[in-house]
Each structure stands twice: as structure tokens, then as C-alpha cells.
Amino acid sequence: MNQLNRVTQVSVIWTLGCVLAACGGGTDDGASAGPPVGATTYSQVTPVAGASDVYGTVAVDDSNNTIAGTYTQRVASVNADGSYVLTQVDPTNTSVVVNGIDYHFDAAVLDFDGKGHETGASFTAADGAVQTCTFTTESGGHALPWWVGQTFALALQESCNPGSTQLFQEAGSVASLESVTVPAGTFMALKLTITQQWTDASGQNVTEQITEWSDPAHWLFTIKRTIAYTRSGNVPAHYVNSQTVELQSRSSS
């Protein structure tokens, strides 16, 4: 599915990933009990090794500056149990500094289990430094299959080395199946609406209002995502106010 969205104070890492609902698994005390009789359901389909997607990203900061980027996501490998690995890289190696923030994309390797839940990731900076992260569901999740009208809640712990451990809280729903148009074309997609909250190591409290369009015909990968940020506590001098990610092109192999 998608990968964990990561926006840091020092740099912005354009990682499409999974909205955290897609990272969590199992049952969910705050979720819908099950699909109603007759509901259309959508399950994870094993990706195809070698398939790749190109995404464009646009961020708007607190000074209303617009920062654009791009990256390619590729299905690097698929195992017999349905687990798979995605790689993400910006082939242009673009780095833009605005108000002291370095906007760039760190190369990423993302691990998923057979249900499409992200279990770990590693990020390699331009200087070769590597950060590895693991994701552990503390409670809740977004169990498969998905259906329109489904609700979910999740508490997920992200532990990174080097770095810190952060707890993410999320609640949302599968709002509709609708048409969405992006540069890659027009798709029928599942629209998810999500509120995600977390506190970083410096004491900044972040709330993200996320709208996500996921492709049920393409492994529930993201077609489009918009995020609006609200911040409190130890807010940095400059920050991202909003972010949009859109599918630019797609290759089946």
C-alpha cells in the first residue's frame, strides 16, 4: 500500500508511502466490525516485480513558497508469501533550500508484508548516511478488506536508528469510490479521509488532515494525496503548511 509520510524540521523527504492506516494490520477496536452484506470489498493484490510509478510532489511553506519535486517508486522484489520491497529515488537528485530548510528526497527502501502493511524502511542521505526504521502497531489498525463506509483507528510506533521513537495516532474512514484525475490519467479510486497526530523529539505537536486516493486495481498504491498541517508547541521558525503528491506516469514492468 502506501508508505509513511515523513516531513522533518531539517529536511523534507518526499516519501509517498503509506498513510499509517495502511501500515497497521490486524483487528481494530475503533474500526467497523466488518463489511455490510452485499458491500463491495477491496483486498491487497500482490504487486508485480519491476513495476514502477513516477510521482510529483508540491509543498507550500509558511511563507507561501511553493517547492516542487519528483521521485520514482519501483517494486524491487516480490516474495512467495506476497511480501515485497519498494525502492524510491529522485533521479534528478534535486535539493532546494528555502528559509533554511533543505527540501530533497532521500533514497528509500521500504519493506511490506503479504497484506501490504509496511514493516520497515531505510533511508540513505546524499552523504551516504543511512537511517533505518521499524513500525509496530500498538493498537488498532486498518484490516483488509477495505470497503466504502469502513472506519479505522490506529496507534503506531515508529522507531528509527539513528533517531527517536515516536507514537502516531490516526483515525479515518474509507469515504467513497470516486473518479480522480492526475497527470497519469483518470482512475476510479478509494478516497480515504484521515486525521493523524504525532509529537516530534523537539516538542512540536503536529496534526495532519489527509485525503488519500488509493487504487484498488493497482495494489492499493496511492494515486493522489493531500495533507494540511496544523502545529503547536515547539513550532520551528519555518515549516510546511501543505503537501500534495500526484501520480505522473505508470509502467507495469
Which 3 state secondary structure label does DSSP give 250? Answer: strand
- In this predicted structure, what is the pLDDT of residue 30? 55
pLDDT in tens, 221-241: 999 999 999 999 999 999 999
User: Rounded mean pLDDT of 149-164?
Assistant: 93
Instruction: Report whether 156 contacts 168 (CB < 8 A).
Output: yes
Instruction: Report whether 23 contacts 250 (CB < 8 A).
Output: no
For the record, the C-alpha cell of 206 comes out as 503536529
Cα distance between residue 220 and residue 222, in whole Å: 7
CA angle, 29 as apex, 111 and 157 as ends, to 5°?
A: 35
- In this predicted structure, what is the pLDDT of residue 135? 93
Cα distance between residue 51 and residue 218, in whole Å: 10
Tell me how far the alpha carbon of residue 130 is from its chain's centroid: 20
At residue 94, does pLDDT exceed 90?
no
Helix intervals (H) in 52-185: none
At residue 27, does pLDDT exceed 50?
no
Using 50, 70 and 90 to split pLDDT, how confident is the model at 209? very high
- In this predicted structure, what is the pLDDT of residue 14? 39
Domains of the chain: 6-251 (2.40.360)
- In this predicted structure, what is the pLDDT of residue 18? 44
pLDDT in tens, 99-154: 988 898 899 999 999 888 889 999 998 889 999 999 999 999 888 899 999 999 99
Instruction: Kindly report the backbone phi and psi dihedral angles of residue 115, in degrees, each rounded to the nearest multiple of 5, phi listed first.
Output: -100, 5
At residue 19, does pLDDT exceed 80?
no
- In this predicted structure, what is the pLDDT of residue 5? 39
**Average of per-residue pLDDT values in the chain:** 87
* Number of residues that this document lists for the chain: 253
